[in-house]
Structure 1
Amino acid sequence: MKRTAIGAAALLIVSSAVTVGTGGSASAAESCGYTTVSIDPTVTHKGAGTPAYNNGLTSFRGRVFQLRTEPAFDYSQGNIASGYRSGDKVWVDISVNQGKSWTQCGPYYRDRTYFAYHKYKWMRVCVNVDGYTQCATNGNRTGPDGSKWWYDD
Protein backbone atom coordinates (compact mmCIF):
# COMPACT_ATOMS: atom_id res chain seq x y z
CA MET A 1 0.00 0.00 0.00
CA LYS A 2 1.40 3.39 -0.93
CA ARG A 3 2.03 5.96 1.78
CA THR A 4 -0.57 8.28 0.21
CA ALA A 5 -3.20 5.59 0.57
CA ILE A 6 -2.10 4.94 4.14
CA GLY A 7 -2.23 8.66 4.88
CA ALA A 8 -5.74 8.84 3.48
CA ALA A 9 -6.75 5.86 5.59
CA ALA A 10 -5.34 7.64 8.63
CA LEU A 11 -7.87 10.39 8.05
CA LEU A 12 -10.68 7.91 8.60
CA ILE A 13 -10.19 8.00 12.33
CA VAL A 14 -12.94 6.81 14.57
CA SER A 15 -12.15 8.27 17.94
CA SER A 16 -13.89 8.57 21.27
CA ALA A 17 -12.24 8.84 24.64
CA VAL A 18 -12.76 9.39 28.32
CA THR A 19 -10.91 12.29 29.93
CA VAL A 20 -10.03 11.57 33.50
CA GLY A 21 -8.31 13.51 36.28
CA THR A 22 -5.18 12.04 37.84
CA GLY A 23 -7.11 10.16 40.48
CA GLY A 24 -9.87 8.77 38.27
CA SER A 25 -10.34 5.82 36.04
CA ALA A 26 -12.41 4.96 33.01
CA SER A 27 -14.36 1.73 33.06
CA ALA A 28 -15.94 1.51 29.60
CA ALA A 29 -13.96 0.31 26.61
CA GLU A 30 -13.26 3.29 24.37
CA SER A 31 -11.84 3.54 20.86
CA CYS A 32 -8.97 5.81 19.91
CA GLY A 33 -7.19 5.66 16.60
CA TYR A 34 -7.76 3.77 13.44
CA THR A 35 -6.20 0.31 13.20
CA THR A 36 -4.56 -2.42 15.24
CA VAL A 37 -2.21 -3.65 12.52
CA SER A 38 1.20 -2.36 11.55
CA ILE A 39 0.76 0.22 8.81
CA ASP A 40 4.38 0.75 7.89
CA PRO A 41 7.55 -1.34 7.97
CA THR A 42 9.19 1.36 10.13
CA VAL A 43 7.01 0.50 13.17
CA THR A 44 9.27 0.08 16.20
CA HIS A 45 8.80 0.84 19.88
CA LYS A 46 9.69 3.73 22.15
CA GLY A 47 13.09 3.33 23.79
CA ALA A 48 14.20 0.55 21.44
CA GLY A 49 17.96 0.16 21.65
CA THR A 50 18.23 2.47 24.67
CA PRO A 51 19.36 0.59 27.80
CA ALA A 52 18.62 3.63 29.99
CA TYR A 53 14.93 3.07 29.14
CA ASN A 54 15.20 -0.72 29.48
CA ASN A 55 14.90 -0.76 25.68
CA GLY A 56 11.34 0.57 26.10
CA LEU A 57 10.08 -2.69 27.57
CA THR A 58 8.20 -3.23 30.83
CA SER A 59 7.90 -6.73 32.29
CA PHE A 60 4.97 -7.59 34.53
CA ARG A 61 3.51 -10.93 35.64
CA GLY A 62 5.00 -12.89 32.73
CA ARG A 63 4.11 -10.29 30.09
CA VAL A 64 6.34 -7.80 28.29
CA PHE A 65 4.68 -4.65 27.00
CA GLN A 66 5.72 -1.57 25.09
CA LEU A 67 4.53 1.58 23.35
CA ARG A 68 4.94 0.85 19.64
CA THR A 69 5.47 3.84 17.37
CA GLU A 70 4.88 4.52 13.71
CA PRO A 71 7.14 7.55 13.10
CA ALA A 72 6.16 8.35 9.51
CA PHE A 73 2.67 9.46 10.61
CA ASP A 74 3.27 10.15 14.36
CA TYR A 75 1.13 7.33 15.73
CA SER A 76 1.68 5.04 18.74
CA GLN A 77 0.07 1.83 19.93
CA GLY A 78 0.08 -0.07 23.23
CA ASN A 79 1.23 -3.65 22.75
CA ILE A 80 1.70 -6.75 24.89
CA ALA A 81 4.74 -7.96 22.98
CA SER A 82 5.02 -11.35 24.67
CA GLY A 83 3.16 -13.50 27.15
CA TYR A 84 -0.35 -12.35 26.14
CA ARG A 85 -3.17 -14.51 27.56
CA SER A 86 -6.91 -14.40 27.00
CA GLY A 87 -8.46 -11.92 29.45
CA ASP A 88 -5.46 -9.56 29.48
CA LYS A 89 -6.30 -5.89 28.89
CA VAL A 90 -4.12 -3.18 27.35
CA TRP A 91 -4.70 0.56 26.90
CA VAL A 92 -2.87 3.82 26.26
CA ASP A 93 -3.04 6.86 28.53
CA ILE A 94 -2.60 10.17 26.69
CA SER A 95 -1.97 13.56 28.29
CA VAL A 96 -1.80 16.99 26.70
CA ASN A 97 -0.87 18.71 30.01
CA GLN A 98 2.23 16.79 31.13
CA GLY A 99 0.41 14.05 33.03
CA LYS A 100 -1.89 16.23 35.14
CA SER A 101 -4.92 14.66 33.47
CA TRP A 102 -5.20 12.06 30.76
CA THR A 103 -7.40 10.36 28.23
CA GLN A 104 -7.61 6.60 28.42
CA CYS A 105 -7.83 4.83 25.06
CA GLY A 106 -9.10 1.39 25.94
CA PRO A 107 -9.00 -1.01 27.59
CA TYR A 108 -8.86 -3.59 24.83
CA TYR A 109 -9.15 -7.33 25.50
CA ARG A 110 -6.39 -8.26 23.05
CA ASP A 111 -2.64 -7.87 22.70
CA ARG A 112 -2.70 -4.34 21.22
CA THR A 113 -4.60 -1.07 21.08
CA TYR A 114 -5.50 1.05 18.12
CA PHE A 115 -2.83 3.45 16.87
CA ALA A 116 -3.36 6.94 18.36
CA TYR A 117 -1.80 10.22 17.23
CA HIS A 118 1.11 11.07 19.55
CA LYS A 119 2.66 14.33 18.34
CA TYR A 120 2.96 16.88 21.21
CA LYS A 121 1.33 14.44 23.65
CA TRP A 122 2.56 12.45 26.61
CA MET A 123 1.73 8.75 26.22
CA ARG A 124 2.15 5.55 28.19
CA VAL A 125 0.91 2.00 27.83
CA CYS A 126 -0.79 0.17 30.71
CA VAL A 127 -2.00 -3.40 31.19
CA ASN A 128 -4.27 -5.32 33.49
CA VAL A 129 -3.25 -8.95 33.81
CA ASP A 130 -4.41 -11.51 36.36
CA GLY A 131 -6.45 -8.72 38.00
CA TYR A 132 -3.40 -6.47 38.54
CA THR A 133 -2.68 -3.18 36.75
CA GLN A 134 0.74 -1.85 35.74
CA CYS A 135 1.74 1.10 33.56
CA ALA A 136 5.05 1.31 31.74
CA THR A 137 8.03 1.96 33.98
CA ASN A 138 10.03 3.79 31.33
CA GLY A 139 9.74 6.97 29.30
CA ASN A 140 11.55 10.18 28.46
CA ARG A 141 9.35 12.34 30.76
CA THR A 142 8.27 12.07 34.41
CA GLY A 143 4.74 12.98 35.47
CA PRO A 144 3.79 14.90 38.62
CA ASP A 145 3.25 11.61 40.48
CA GLY A 146 6.60 10.15 39.36
CA SER A 147 5.09 8.02 36.57
CA LYS A 148 6.98 7.67 33.29
CA TRP A 149 5.66 8.91 29.94
CA TRP A 150 6.87 9.13 26.34
CA TYR A 151 6.79 12.48 24.59
CA ASP A 152 7.45 13.44 20.96
CA ASP A 153 7.67 17.00 19.70
Structure 2
Amino acid sequence: MKTSRRLAIAGSLLLTATVAPFAGVQAAQAAVSCGYTTVTVDPLITHKGAGTPSQNNGLTSFRGRVFQLRTEPTFDYSQGNIASGYKSGDKVWIDVSENQGQSWTQCGPYYRDRTYFSYHKGKWMRVCVNVDGITQCATNGNKTGPGGSKWWDD
Protein backbone atom coordinates (compact mmCIF):
# COMPACT_ATOMS: atom_id res chain seq x y z
CA MET A 1 0.00 0.00 0.00
CA LYS A 2 2.88 2.36 0.76
CA THR A 3 4.29 1.78 -2.76
CA SER A 4 0.89 2.57 -4.28
CA ARG A 5 0.71 5.81 -2.30
CA ARG A 6 4.20 6.81 -3.43
CA LEU A 7 3.31 6.10 -7.07
CA ALA A 8 0.16 8.19 -6.71
CA ILE A 9 2.18 11.06 -5.25
CA ALA A 10 4.76 10.79 -8.05
CA GLY A 11 1.96 10.83 -10.61
CA SER A 12 0.48 13.93 -8.98
CA LEU A 13 3.84 15.71 -9.06
CA LEU A 14 4.41 14.80 -12.71
CA LEU A 15 0.92 15.87 -13.76
CA THR A 16 1.24 19.21 -12.04
CA ALA A 17 4.57 19.86 -13.73
CA THR A 18 2.69 20.74 -16.91
CA VAL A 19 0.16 23.04 -15.26
CA ALA A 20 0.57 26.74 -16.06
CA PRO A 21 1.79 28.90 -13.18
CA PHE A 22 -0.86 30.45 -10.96
CA ALA A 23 -1.89 34.02 -11.68
CA GLY A 24 0.39 36.49 -9.95
CA VAL A 25 3.36 34.11 -9.77
CA GLN A 26 6.49 35.38 -11.43
CA ALA A 27 8.63 33.04 -13.49
CA ALA A 28 11.69 31.67 -11.74
CA GLN A 29 15.00 33.34 -12.58
CA ALA A 30 16.96 30.13 -12.62
CA ALA A 31 18.71 27.39 -14.53
CA VAL A 32 17.88 24.89 -11.78
CA SER A 33 14.42 23.37 -11.56
CA CYS A 34 12.26 25.71 -9.52
CA GLY A 35 9.58 23.16 -8.97
CA TYR A 36 6.23 21.78 -9.77
CA THR A 37 3.31 22.53 -7.49
CA THR A 38 2.34 24.47 -4.40
CA VAL A 39 -0.12 21.77 -3.37
CA THR A 40 0.75 19.61 -0.38
CA VAL A 41 0.50 16.03 -1.66
CA ASP A 42 2.09 14.04 1.15
CA PRO A 43 0.92 14.03 4.76
CA LEU A 44 4.50 13.22 5.84
CA ILE A 45 5.71 16.70 4.82
CA THR A 46 7.62 18.38 7.61
CA HIS A 47 10.09 21.22 7.68
CA LYS A 48 13.85 21.38 7.99
CA GLY A 49 14.94 21.69 11.61
CA ALA A 50 11.64 20.43 13.05
CA GLY A 51 12.28 19.12 16.55
CA THR A 52 15.71 20.77 16.76
CA PRO A 53 15.56 23.51 19.41
CA SER A 54 19.12 24.66 18.62
CA GLN A 55 17.84 25.52 15.12
CA ASN A 56 14.71 27.24 16.52
CA ASN A 57 12.84 24.18 15.20
CA GLY A 58 13.60 25.39 11.66
CA LEU A 59 11.46 28.52 12.02
CA THR A 60 12.48 32.11 11.33
CA SER A 61 10.39 35.01 12.66
CA PHE A 62 10.41 38.35 10.87
CA ARG A 63 8.03 41.32 11.04
CA GLY A 64 5.11 39.24 12.32
CA ARG A 65 5.66 36.36 9.90
CA VAL A 66 7.04 32.90 10.61
CA PHE A 67 8.66 31.12 7.69
CA GLN A 68 10.29 27.75 7.09
CA LEU A 69 11.75 25.41 4.49
CA ARG A 70 9.26 22.57 4.20
CA THR A 71 10.50 19.19 2.99
CA GLU A 72 8.88 16.25 1.25
CA PRO A 73 11.17 13.33 2.10
CA THR A 74 9.82 10.67 -0.26
CA PHE A 75 10.95 12.40 -3.46
CA ASP A 76 13.50 14.92 -2.09
CA TYR A 77 11.55 18.16 -2.62
CA SER A 78 11.52 21.35 -0.55
CA GLN A 79 9.21 24.34 -0.46
CA GLY A 80 9.53 27.82 1.04
CA ASN A 81 6.53 28.63 3.20
CA ILE A 82 5.26 31.59 5.22
CA ALA A 83 3.68 29.41 7.89
CA SER A 84 1.90 32.23 9.73
CA GLY A 85 1.27 35.94 9.42
CA TYR A 86 1.11 36.08 5.59
CA LYS A 87 -0.30 39.33 4.18
CA SER A 88 -1.09 40.33 0.63
CA GLY A 89 2.05 41.79 -0.96
CA ASP A 90 4.46 39.48 0.90
CA LYS A 91 6.95 37.63 -1.31
CA VAL A 92 8.65 34.28 -0.68
CA TRP A 93 11.34 32.41 -2.60
CA ILE A 94 14.01 29.74 -2.27
CA ASP A 95 17.72 30.36 -2.78
CA VAL A 96 19.42 27.24 -4.16
CA SER A 97 23.17 26.60 -4.18
CA GLU A 98 24.86 23.74 -5.97
CA ASN A 99 28.33 24.72 -4.67
CA GLN A 100 27.95 25.00 -0.87
CA GLY A 101 26.82 28.63 -0.84
CA GLN A 102 29.52 30.11 -3.09
CA SER A 103 26.79 31.15 -5.53
CA TRP A 104 23.06 30.72 -5.58
CA THR A 105 20.03 30.80 -7.83
CA GLN A 106 16.80 32.42 -6.78
CA CYS A 107 13.60 30.47 -7.42
CA GLY A 108 10.89 33.11 -7.25
CA PRO A 109 9.76 35.45 -5.83
CA TYR A 110 6.23 34.23 -5.47
CA TYR A 111 3.49 36.62 -4.37
CA ARG A 112 1.76 34.12 -2.10
CA ASP A 113 2.45 32.21 1.11
CA ARG A 114 4.53 29.44 -0.49
CA THR A 115 6.83 28.57 -3.37
CA TYR A 116 6.70 25.65 -5.72
CA PHE A 117 8.33 22.44 -4.50
CA SER A 118 11.92 22.28 -5.75
CA TYR A 119 14.19 19.22 -5.98
CA HIS A 120 16.80 19.49 -3.22
CA LYS A 121 18.99 16.37 -3.40
CA GLY A 122 22.66 17.39 -3.23
CA LYS A 123 21.86 21.11 -2.95
CA TRP A 124 21.93 23.74 -0.24
CA MET A 125 18.68 25.65 0.15
CA ARG A 126 17.22 28.45 2.22
CA VAL A 127 13.93 30.29 2.21
CA CYS A 128 13.74 34.09 2.03
CA VAL A 129 10.89 36.58 2.29
CA ASN A 130 10.30 40.21 1.43
CA VAL A 131 7.91 41.89 3.85
CA ASP A 132 7.08 45.60 3.66
CA GLY A 133 9.95 46.05 1.18
CA ILE A 134 12.54 44.45 3.50
CA THR A 135 14.22 41.12 2.68
CA GLN A 136 15.13 38.50 5.28
CA CYS A 137 16.50 35.00 4.69
CA ALA A 138 16.22 32.13 7.15
CA THR A 139 18.45 32.49 10.19
CA ASN A 140 18.81 28.76 10.76
CA GLY A 141 20.26 25.80 8.91
CA ASN A 142 22.63 22.90 9.33
CA LYS A 143 25.35 24.49 7.15
CA THR A 144 27.06 27.87 7.28
CA GLY A 145 27.96 29.53 4.01
CA PRO A 146 30.06 32.57 3.11
CA GLY A 147 29.29 35.59 5.30
CA GLY A 148 27.76 33.35 7.97
CA SER A 149 24.49 32.75 6.10
CA LYS A 150 22.64 29.61 7.12
CA TRP A 151 21.56 26.90 4.68
CA TRP A 152 19.93 23.46 4.77
CA ASP A 153 21.34 20.52 2.87
CA ASP A 154 20.01 17.04 2.31
TM bucket, shorter chain: 0.7 to 0.9
Q: Using structure 1 for the length normalisation, give the TM-score.
A: 0.86
Q: What residue ranges of structure 1 are gaps of 5+ in the alignment? A: 21-30
How big is each residue's C-alpha offset from its partner over 1:24-43, in whole Å with a ceiling of 9 and x where there is no partner? xxxxxxx8111101110100
How many residues matched? 142
4+ runs of 1 displaced by more than 6 Å? none
Q: What residue ranges of structure 2 are gaps of 5+ in the alignment? A: 19-26
| Alpha-carbon distance change, 17 to 86 in structure 1, aligned in 2, over 3 angstroms | closer
Two-structure CA RMSD over aligned residues (Å): 2.0
Equivalences for residues 33-72 of structure 1 within 5 A: 33-72=35-74
State the distance in 1 between where 2:148 and 2:30 align: 20
Equivalences for residues 114-125 of structure 1 within 5 A: 114-125=116-127
Establish whether residue 73 from structure 1 lines up as the match of residue 75 from structure 2.
yes
Q: Using structure 2 for the length normalisation, give the TM-score.
A: 0.86
Structure 1 residue 10, shift from structure 2 partner: 3.0
Query: Would you tell me which structure has more helix in proportion to its own residues?
Result: 2
Secondary structure class of the residue paired with 2:147 = coil
Contact 1:64–1:83 (Cα < 8 Å) also in 2: yes
1:91 to 90, 93, 96: 93
State the distance in 2 between where 1:86 and 1:108 align: 11
How big is each residue's C-alpha offset from its partner over 1:55-113, in whole Å with a ceiling of 9 and x where there is no partner? 00000000000000000110000000000000000000000000111111100000000
Query: Would you tell me which structure has more strand in proportion to its own residues?
Result: 1
